[in-house]
Amino acid sequence: MNALTATSVVLPAPRPAINQGIDINNEMVLNHTAIYENCLAQVTQENTVENALMLL
């Protein structure tokens, strides 16, 4: 049986974020932000493999 050897991979540096000109006062943006913050607020240290949190 052949043994596998690990090789190190060097990844390039991430590109800087592009200013997309998003209007933070737009109703759709505010709604999306509220949904995201609600989902993020549900994540706690109690969420483990045995007590997983699923967001759909």
- 49 pLDDT higher than 90: no
Q: What is the mean pLDDT of residues 10-27?
A: 86
30, 46 contact by CB (below 8 A): no
pTM: 0.52
- 36 pLDDT higher than 70: yes
Q: pLDDT value at position 30?
A: 94
Q: What is the mean pLDDT of residues 30-50?
A: 89
Could you identify the residue written with the tokens 């390039």? 12
Provide the 3-class DSSP secondary structure of residue 37. helix
Give the contacts of 55 (CB within 8 A, at least 6 positions apart): 39, 42
- Domain positions in the chain are 24-48
- Residue 37 falls in which region: left (phi positive, over 0), alpha (psi -120 to 50) or beta: alpha
